[in-house]
Structure 1
Amino acid sequence: MHRFWDKVIKPMIIAVQPVNIVEIGSLTGLNTFKLLDYCQHADARCTVIDPAPQFDVELLKDYYGEAFCMLRELSLQAMPKLEPYDMILIDGDHNWYTVYHELKQVEEMAQSAGAFPVVLLHDIDWPYGRRDMYYFPESIPADYRQPNAKQGLEPGNPNLVPNGGFNHVVSNAVLEHGERNGVLAAIEDFLRETEFDLTWHQLHSNNGLGIIMPTAAPVSRVLPYILNTSGL
């Protein structure tokens, strides 16, 4: 998601001025560090959820202090513990079950807090818009887990490739498309069901970025300008 920072995420943060940010999925921290820099300057706070962060957590705690909170858990375990937040970035486990239930937990928080946050979601396009990926297949209930294998992907091929391919080190759904398969499918199902008045925006570059926000959110006035001039 960090590839969207300069042209989309940073301008959105300036417009939204969030006080409490949540990031799901930090990997090496390329996006996390940018979020924390904002929080440090704007008296805001960022809670990062990742069971296996690939950066020095203690070093960041020392440097960013109260602006940074780390939860080394799966997102669906950690989210019920969160205080209300006004922006959340979702870039964790790219499968229907996880993303759908992350959004349902966002909705539950919003019902309690009285306001729906700005939500950014990565990987809404190829390869995981219409195909599940599992870091920990056993964490997904069997009824929601697609047949999968540790084999890679290639553009234009709906099947897994036997050798090499993109992201061959994780478990990918054997087939692309179909019900309850992929990040975009999870978002579509959520948006069909929610009673909140929300708008949906998307960019297709860099594996895709999706944005959900309340229709009446002030940032909605400038978001078309941000997206249309991003060049992405």
Structure 2
Amino acid sequence: MHRFWEKVIKPVMIAARPAHIVEIGSLTGLNTFKILDYCHHMGSRCTVIDPAPQFDVELLSAYYGEAFRMIHELSLKSMPDLEPYDMILIDGDHNWYTVYHELKQVERMALSAGAFPVVMLHDIDWPYGRRDMYYFPESIPQEYRQPHAMQGLEPGNPLLVPGGFNHMVHNAVLEHGERNGVLTAVEDFLKETTFDLSWHSLRSNNGLGILLPTDSPFGRTIPFILNTSGL
């Protein structure tokens, strides 16, 4: 998701001025560091959820202090205990079950807090828009788990291939179909939610989607940011 920082995420943050940001999935922290710099300058705070972050958590905690909180846990287990937030970036486990239920957790928080946050989701396009990926297959209930294998992907080929893209994780054997992929999870959530939400998206860099209330005071800024991003 860090590839969208300068042209999309940063401008959206400046427009929205979130006070509490949640980031799901930090990996090496390339996006996390940028979010924390925003928080440092704007007096905001960031909660990062990742069971296995690949950066020095203690160093960031020492530098950013109360602006930074790290949760070493799976998102669906930790989200019910979060304090209200006004922006969340979802870039964790790229599968229907996780993303759909992450959005349902966002909805529950919003119903309690009285306001739906800005939601940014990575990987809404190829390869995981319509195909599940599992870091930990056992964390997904069996009835929601697609047949999968630790093989990779290649553009234009619907089948898994040895040594292809992301061959080190578990990928669904088949693309498309019900309850399969990140974008499918977003679409299924939007069919059910009682909130009036607007959906905006980019297809580059594996895809970025943005959800926010239709009546958001800065809602008209989002299409401008996306249309002039050059992405």
CA separation in 2, counterparts of 1:227 and 1:182? Answer: 23
Query: Which residue number in structure 1 is paired with residue 81 of structure 2?
Result: 81
Q: Does 1:92 align with 2:81?
A: no
Deviates more, 1:221-230 or 1:70-79: 221-230
CA separation in 2, counterparts of 1:14 and 1:43? Answer: 13
Q: State the AA in 2 paired with 1:146.
A: Q
**1:101-180 maps to which residues of 2 (within 5 A)?**
101-161=101-161, 163-180=162-179
Unpaired runs of 5+ residues, structure 1, are none
Query: Which residue number in structure 1 is paired with residue 213 of structure 2?
Result: 214
Scaled by the length of structure 1, the TM-score of the pair is: 0.99
Query: Which residue number in structure 2 is paired with residue 54 of structure 1?
Result: 54
CA separation in 2, counterparts of 1:224 and 1:164? Answer: 38
Identity %: 80
Query: Which residue number in structure 2 is paired with residue 188 of structure 1?
Result: 187
Q: Please give the per-residue CA displacement for 1:8-54, whole angstroms capped at 9, x wherever unaligned.
A: 00000000000000000000000000000000111100000000000
Query: Which residue number in structure 2 is paired with residue 16 of structure 1?
Result: 16
**1:19-30 maps to which residues of 2 (within 5 A)?**
19-30=19-30
Please report how far the alpha carbon of residue 223 of structure 1 lies from its aligned counterpart in structure 2 after TM superposition.
1.0
CA separation in 1, counterparts of 2:206 and 2:219? Answer: 23
CA separation in 1, counterparts of 2:98 and 2:221? Answer: 30
Q: State the AA in 2 paired with 1:80.
A: P
CA separation in 2, counterparts of 1:172 and 1:219? Answer: 37
CA separation in 2, counterparts of 1:229 and 1:196? Answer: 28
Please report how far the alpha carbon of residue 59 of structure 1 lies from its aligned counterpart in structure 2 after TM superposition.
0.3
Unpaired runs of 5+ residues, structure 2, are none
Q: In angstroms, what is the RMSD of aligned CA positions?
A: 0.4
CA separation in 2, counterparts of 1:215 and 1:60? Answer: 35
Q: Residue 14 of structure 2 aligns to a residue in which SS?
A: helix
Q: Residue 180 of structure 2 aligns to a residue in which SS?
A: coil
**1:67-78 maps to which residues of 2 (within 5 A)?**
67-78=67-78
Q: State the AA in 1 paired with 2:20.
A: N
Please report how far the alpha carbon of residue 221 of structure 1 lies from its aligned counterpart in structure 2 after TM superposition.
1.8
CA separation in 2, counterparts of 1:3 and 1:77? Answer: 28
Q: Please give the per-residue CA displacement for 1:162-190, whole angstroms capped at 9, x wherever unaligned.
A: x2100000000000000000000000000
Alignment length (residue pairs)? 231
Q: Residue 209 of structure 2 aligns to a residue in which SS?
A: strand
Q: Please give the per-residue CA displacement for 1:91-136, whole angstroms capped at 9, x wherever unaligned.
A: 0000000000000000000000000000000000000000000000
**1:217-232 maps to which residues of 2 (within 5 A)?**
217-232=216-231
Q: State the AA in 2 paired with 1:125.
A: D
Q: State the AA in 1 paired with 2:30.
A: L
Please report how far the alpha carbon of residue 218 of structure 1 lies from its aligned counterpart in structure 2 after TM superposition.
1.5
